[in-house]
Structure 1
Amino acid sequence: MILSKAGVRRGRTGRWLAVVALGAATALVATPAAAAEAELNAGSLSWGFKESFRNYVKRGDGNPPIAASQGATINADGTFSFSFAEGTYDAVTGAASVEYDGKIAFSYPGHGMNITIANPTIVLGNGTGTLKADVALNPGGADGFVATQADLAVLTTTGNVAVDGAVVTGTNLPAAITAAGAAAMDGFYAAGEALDPVSFAFTSDDSVPATPKVNISKTTGLSLDEPTSITVTGSGFDPNAAGGQGIYVGFGPKTENFHTNSAILGAAKWLKANPASYQEPLNADGTFSTTLSLSAVYTTRGGEAVDCTQVQCYVMTFAAHGSTDRSQDTFAPVTFAAVPAPEGGNASQQISATVLGGPLTLNVAGSSVALPAAGIGSVTTGALNSATVADLRGTNAGWNLVGQVGDFVSADGGVIAADNLGWTPNASGADGSVVTPGAAATPGSGLGSARTLCSSAAGASAGTFTCGADLALGIPSTASAGDYTATLTLTLS
């Protein structure tokens, strides 16, 4: 977010604005081979920002209280529609960046408020969604600022985005305001608070490729003693994969080189458009039907024994001839009938679980801190809004949260140097993870430079942690009377 301040914020004793800058979090994500981004040619976006906020503004003295322009319109239910501008979409990865035109102005002169939200952008990628927008608060005024393409809201995309041919649709995606969005909205709402749901659509000239899918006649309880014949049907495959070499349909364990060494498979068929006598057809529409004979124990062409009751085996598909194209890969686990346990013996069960990962995130409990009034030459104290760090990356790689404050200034031009603010950090964690509070900083040698609030070392950083600090602002004898404000920035990396 690019933030330009038109002037110093006015008026509230000891009022602070916490602007949270998140460091880049590394996530390991397995994705298909990348495809070229397609240019989009149409789209729509419907969003109401927040119904309660609209109702509040409508009661005011704006003329009008809410106005739409520059490609935006107001819907019958009070929400807003924005017109399509431009964008790109990657049909393989699902990544998209879609820009829309339009401006919504909220006016409430009686409360000294003039806010505009304009030119929203939908960004999709890695299973997440973000709504960005230009936000202006009382632009040109002494207390105004402008945020260009701020990360205004985070969107829940799972289960809410559908692909139909060349059309991608998101319907009523839950939205929550981000820390940066809360700051851009001048603290009207706290980070994480729900906003109105978002609906969008966009279309490209390029058809969205179908996803390869297979259906297998039987995958569990296969015979231990005799080979079992199964039927495998598929759809959504690309006959032009691997330079037109087609796909393999095979059976065996998923090894590191499964796609380059079909000799390790217990059964395999080569499917191709216009097949030779030793191949089977892969239809032009991406469908096929074939059979495989599966044995619980088999010997590879290299003479190695494979026991599929001891290692997990799969019916799998992949692009033929050692291709690096992974877009044709599918894997269906196959199990065989349980081996009867000897009398008085043991029985075993295979237990599986899926562990969901996540990002490294930071949330703060509030956007302002009011320190008590104090005299010149004294110290005023308070507490920082608590910060919650969640490390769900699964890497246990460690993290560090630092804070730095700017100079305190008053409307009359008074200045208290940033180093006059000190703190004594505190931190807590759970589940055996370790978090360490930063060193104390005293007024006079305080937060004018970046100082650690809390940190967790590699090997112990996974989990959720709470970090805070006791604040102490030393008021120098040279300070003039007035209301002073400063901006404290927390950065997580």
Structure 2
Amino acid sequence: MTSVMIPQRRYRWRSWTAAVLAAAVGTVALTGVASAGTAQARPASAAAAESAVTVNSGTLEWGVRASIRNYLENFEHTAGWVEARDGATYDPGDPAIVFSDANGWVDTEQQSAELSFAGEVQMFGFGEDWLWFEDVRVTVDGGDAEIIADVIQSYNVKERRDDVTLATFELPDGAVGVEDGTLEIAAGEGLFTETVWNEHLPKLGGAATYGPPNDFTDPFSVTAELEGSTPGPGPEPTEPEPTEPEPTGPVPTVPAPDPDEAPYGTSRGTPLAGTDSYIAVTPGYALDPDGTTRVTVEGFNFNPGPAVEPGTGSGGIYVGLGQAADPDTENWRRSKGGVTGPGADLDYASPRFVAHQNSADGDVADAMMDADGYWKFELDVPGSTLESFFGGSAIDCLESRCGVYSFGAHGVVNADNEAATFLHFPGDGTEDGWPPRENENPDAPPTSEPDPLPADSQLTDANRGGLTEVSRSGRALTVGVGQEHAQQWVGATLHPDPAFISWYRVSGNGNITVTLPSGIAEGEHRLSVVDRDSELLGWLPFSYAVDQKPPPTGPPGENPGGVDKNPHGSSTGENPQSGARLTVEPAYELEDEGQKVTLTGEGYPTSNGGSNFGGAYIMFGWIDPELGGSWGPSGDGVGGHGYVYIEGEENQSMVSYPGNTTVPGFPTMDEDGDWEAEFTIASSRFTAFGQDVDCYTMQCGVITIGAHGQANAGVEVFTPVYFDADGSSIDPDARPVAGGQGGDGPGLGTDGLAPAAGAPAGLSAATGLVDGSDPAAARLVALIGLLIAAAGSLGLASLWATRPVPRS
């Protein structure tokens, strides 16, 4: 494709604190409003002047704030909704709430008004009323306007508060006008008052989520009839002019769209650095910039999550239309520190949810991955202008290229599943690089088995080809076909007694991952691969065993395969600044998979900056010793760059600060910062963030960092553990190597706090912890996150319901 220079956005937004707030619910819109957003005094006029006119009917249109409505209505995990009644009307997706039965007065000479409206509105999510109000009034005094209401209940105030000023507005000159007996008042975006953003609406980590500069509201408009106004006299009646009868010929038809202008072709992305996944959009070229184009979005070679029983999986990805600040780089990727929101590395419209294979959340997802990481759904592209999910300014796809982007859902950073594919509109400056229309359906997947299937007799040394076995995990066999076949469809057949398995699209790095049949027998097999024309590309032999585990890669004799282990001992890590200590027991000769350990924390900080929101995440992985004590998020560390941990909600847990309620059922620190928990270490070897980690040679351990995207240096602790008997197999210079299906290359690293060898903890397992082995608990951790948390490892910036309020 021809390289085309496209104008780029010139602003960047990299404040980690702002990122968390921005991603949480719909976020900092850079509107240029300088007001602090505090409540203004109610207009002074208490009665109508002589020049005032009575208003006896009419409506107010005001949606409070579009991003709040969008969030509560469109994401299942919020269990949210917006409802209007008793004189107010609203349906999900409407641009505003309509309040009826206007009453009051207006004075156009003084540019003032006092109006009241019928209607009640309830905005609900996470088991809480975010804002529930009635008896709405609009007051205007010169260039200032206010919307006032009686608040029945809100997120933080559970008692009625009357006469609350919800929002203030600055009006242009002449905003209050009357024409032909009809009053019209129109205002631009307003500001929540301090009372609303500080006392009523949700807060994140003690900070006002909707405080300045994120305190903007929707605009409002009033249309009303004035008392005594009647339509003016109409024109004098006239005799109708004689007319010729209408022709009775055929009804004209709408001309068919010009085939040379209709959307066409498939825009297929290229796997990003360290990944195999990519997205294809059909049609992807000549999309209608002024209307809606229905497209099919497909994902290939995504990491589908663990192979689990149907209905027990968790997690997934978000897929959305969006625009990167630097579309020709990978700076937008969360695994590379990318931030989302208006003016940030990536801004996007409302995303779709694609669940991992066999997910329990499949019924609320737009699609579910299969075992090969394939998924598909249809999407309406509304034109070249997109409304940002975060509110604020719109996204202009003619100003800079837009595309379809994917990233880990529920705040989980998952480099494997980050992908991007450009969309192409007439006028976006990329037309010179578009493919010719005659190739609009290239490389469609075959619809039938190869004919004929390769015979066993064809699998000779001469026909071996260049196939290689890249990796094997259970029934997932990754085969190297060759980069010369990238993006092509190939068919895999199992031998002996040829049995066709499926067609696979070769990834950008030349690999396919074949899911072997569930009834495959143990023993020696062969796999052949053909192209779409049934021509044999090659074959390879492989052996299969049930529950096959890779042999240890540590020094010979340290952990001979199949030898029973005797987990024992304990290990303690300490934060030298805060004194927080974490003891793990057992800590030596751990099992290679599913090792349960008891964690004992002592002296952890019990708050973060005075707020008890959150706590500490618990993970297992490796930290880079080259960064000393700055390995964590409070220093130089980012997940995958400084510390590498086993990804997936089921492999992580959390301990709360005293009084935090975001994760009910998980352990909580006492007032001294002490706590106990059980934790499951999934494996002695893993691949994450595109890096292979072998805990026989690399120093792995249990990691704690600040939860919910809130960095807290005091809770950053690393405690080493060992899979051999005495730790002698560890190479202090060993580092992760690029490999697997990951995202980034070797990280910048971070390091550990000096571990102190400790006596056995002598403490029992924690009570009440639902650990990472429980899929339901893992989903709980994921679903409480505000979906689009953009910063911090795991990034679960959460609001959670602790006081259920019945929907009325």
If the TM-score is normalised by the length of the shorter chain, which range does it land in?
Answer: 0.3 to 0.5
TM-score under structure 2 length normalisation: 0.21
Higher relative contact order (CA 8 A, sep 6+): 1
**Structure 1-normalised TM-score?**
0.33
The structure with more strand, counted as a fraction of residues:
1
